[in-house]
């Protein structure tokens, strides 16, 4: 290869990488800042509280029919974002209001909490170490999974026969829902990806497109700060 050819072979990949880096930076700079959890200090260390909801349809924006997570700010306002911030080495208390219906399990491991304190979760006030499909609520609607922290929580689906389903976000507790609560511990500071692992991208191949691959809907980042 000639010297100009070798030079181009070096420059072109560099330009492509630089373009992707700048494009990614611009996208992140336009994304809303992380919602900081409500925090407190106790004799056992730092603690934080997060409240989220999952809805069957966002009801607005360019994808009104997409399923989505929403995060509640400490002032009580619901925000369409999946960027969260919690302290490092803290006990995190999580409440998720699940308004979506369920589906058959893809993998039996998905109905078992993992990485939570005590290996359990609380569903509508009842502590369980696994979700058992019921006739009127087959399987789970979504999961809240942070792979790098070993945390995965199944969210029980609302029955298809629910008398007062919510159709657009944000949903209030007057609508049919399940309340899931659990605790997990953070480690060192860092940026951790979290995701729903129940294919819920209706009309996309195997349910894994659309909201499943879009930041702000079924996946986001947990920013753990020192």
pLDDT along the chain (226 residues), means of 10: 48 42 43 86 93 96 95 96 97 98 78 96 96 69 96 93 93 97 97 93 85 94 96
Tokens 């369409």 sit on residue = 80
Domain ranges of the chain: 1-30, 34-225
> What is the rounded distance in angstroms from the CA atom of residue 225 to the CA atom of residue 172?
31
Nearest to residue 195, comparing CAs of 221, 225, 175, 162? 221
Q: pLDDT per residue over 170-194, tens digit each?
A: 999 999 999 999 999 999 999 999 9
Tokens (6 digits) for 168 = 């657009």
Please, are residues 218 and 212 in contact by the beta-carbon 8 Å criterion? yes
pLDDT at res. 137? 54
Neighbours of 108 (CB within 10 A): 8
Tokens (6 digits) for 167 = 């159709």
Q: Please tell me the pTM assigned to this model.
A: 0.84
Please, are residues 179 and 190 in contact by the beta-carbon 8 Å criterion? no
DSSP for 32-46 reads PPPEEPEEEEETTEE
pLDDT at res. 16? 45
So what CATH class is 34-225? mainly beta
pLDDT at res. 171? 97
> What is the rounded distance in angstroms from the CA atom of residue 223 to the CA atom of residue 189?
8
pLDDT at res. 52? 98
pLDDT at res. 102? 87
In 21-54, which positions are buried (b, 16+ CB within 10 angstroms) versus exposed (e)? eeeeeeeeeeeeebbbbeeeeeeeebbbbbbbbb
Tokens (6 digits) for 59 = 């009801």
pLDDT at res. 8? 41
pLDDT at res. 134? 64
Q: Long-range pairs for 39-43 at CB < 8 Å and ≥24 separation?
A: 39/86, 39/87, 39/90
């Amino acid at each position: 290869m000639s010297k100009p050819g070798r030079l181009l072979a070096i420059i072109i990949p560099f330009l492509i990488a630089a373009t992707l880096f700048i494009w990614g930076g611009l996208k992140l700079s336009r994304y809303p800042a992380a919602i900081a959890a409500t925090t407190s200090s106790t004799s056992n260390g730092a603690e934080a509280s997060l409240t989220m909801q999952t809805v069957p349809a966002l009801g607005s924006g360019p994808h009104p029919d997409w399923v989505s997570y929403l995060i509640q700010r400490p002032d009580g306002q619901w925000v369409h974002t999946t960027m969260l911030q919690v302290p490092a080495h803290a006990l995190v208390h999580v409440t998720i209001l699940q308004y979506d219906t369920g589906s058959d399990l893809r993998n039996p491991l998905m109905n078992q909490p993992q990485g939570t304190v005590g290996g359990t979760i609380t569903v509508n006030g009842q502590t369980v170490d696994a979700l058992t499909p019921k006739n009127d609520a087959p399987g789970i609607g979504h999961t809240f999974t942070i792979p790098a922290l070993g945390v995965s929580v199944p969210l029980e689906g609302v029955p298809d026969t629910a008398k007062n389903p919510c159709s657009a976000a944000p949903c209030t507790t007057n609508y049919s829902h399940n309340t899931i609560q659990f605790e997990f511990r953070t480690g060192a500071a860092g940026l951790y990806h979290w995701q729903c692992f129940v294919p819920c991208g209706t009309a996309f191949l195997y349910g894994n497109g659309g909201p499943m691959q879009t930041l702000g809907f079924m996946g986001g980042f947990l920013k753990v700060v020192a």
